[in-house]
Amino acid sequence: FFYPAYSALLPKMLPADQLLAANGLEGTIRPVVHTALGPMTAGFLVAALSPAHAIIGLSLVHLLALLMLRRIPKREAYNRPGAADGQPQPGIFRQLREGVGYTVRTRWLLWTLLFSVISVFTFIGPFEVLLPFIVSDNLHGDAKLFSFALAFFGAGAAVGSLLIASAKFPRRYLSLMTACWCLGTLPLAIVGYVDEAWMLFAILLAFGITDAVGMVIWGTLLQRRVPSNLLGRISSLDFFVSLALMPLSMAVAGPLTQVMSLQAIFIIAGIASPLFGIIAWRAGKFAQDEIAHPLRDEPALQEVKRAE
């Protein structure tokens, strides 16, 4: 519920030329806490005390987050369109049809989502389910070592977000985004062969950097090219479609080890995204689209908005 709403509200608070920096800042802070500081703290709690103490700490952190949310003032400017003038809102199914229709008609959006579905399905299960077995079986590590591995992934995501936030919006934004997501998963192909902790740390650091750069570009791209009245729906649809096969990927990752080795599974996880990314880049005509719709030139951006 949080991120689609956050993505749609951010353009209401900031001008277009500041969205990349804001998304980069969010992308820097979130992984530091979410995949670096949090797992590291949990690992120490589990190792020093017990899993129960880590779960209690998790509950307290969520309570703190809710208290902080309560302090955010309500703003009339964030009311739904039509609320102030008494116009009736379209039904949820009509809004859903409009969002799906826009996605199907918009080639770059459709092919990015199709690529995301396949990419998430191929790597998220091995990453979430099988990575602990790499730590325990190959590296003979424990929860503390696993928490350090996740911390490197989070640190990479923070670095990648900070780098892209400090730069201008790239001219070849679709190509760079796709390249980051494709090249970033390639190191996963050798995860099954690591025999030193530093090797795994380096792989996850690179994976985190490239994944974050692509995500910040993607979030900013949606906010700048999707019409504002559709942005919330498209952001929600993006999350639903991109993550639709995540549970299935996690469900099959474990049983798959009965018929394939960990090495083979991670090889597939590493090379699937680049292969399908190339298909999406060509089928979606990303190169032509980004040239026809430059996002560095604000007058050109306004022409795009009017055309849409």
More confident residue, 137 or 39: 137
For residue range 72-112, list pLDDT tens digits in order: 665 544 444 444 455 666 777 888 888 888 988 999 999 99
Burial class for 69, CB neighbours closer than 10 Å (0-12, 13-18, 19+): exposed
Residue 222 and residue 231 in contact, taking contact as beta carbons nearer than 8 Å: yes
Range 114-132 average pLDDT? 90
Distance CA 84, CA 128 (A): 45
The long-range contacts involving 99-102, CB below 8 angstroms and separated by at least 24 positions, are 99/230, 99/233, 99/234, 99/236, 99/237, 100/237, 102/226, 102/227, 102/230, 102/234
Q: Quick one: residue 86, left, alpha or beta (phi over 0 = left, psi -120 to 50 = alpha)?
A: left
pLDDT of 82 reads 45
For residue range 156-209, list pLDDT tens digits in order: 888 888 888 888 888 899 999 999 999 889 999 999 899 889 999 999 999 999
For residue range 230-278, list pLDDT tens digits in order: 888 888 888 888 788 888 988 998 899 899 998 999 999 999 999 999 9
Q: Which of 16-25, 169-178, 297-306 has the least mean pLDDT? A: 297-306
Closest by Cα among 187, 122, 142 to 42? 142
Distance CA 38, CA 18 (A): 28
Question: Which of 15-24, 147-156, 159-168, 209-218 holds the top average pLDDT?
Answer: 209-218
Instruction: Say which residue the tokens 């997501």 belong to.
Output: 181
| Domains within the chain, CATH numbers bracketed | 2-303 (1.20.1250)
3-state secondary structure of 195: coil
Torsion angle, alpha carbons of 255, 258, 260, 262, to 10: 80
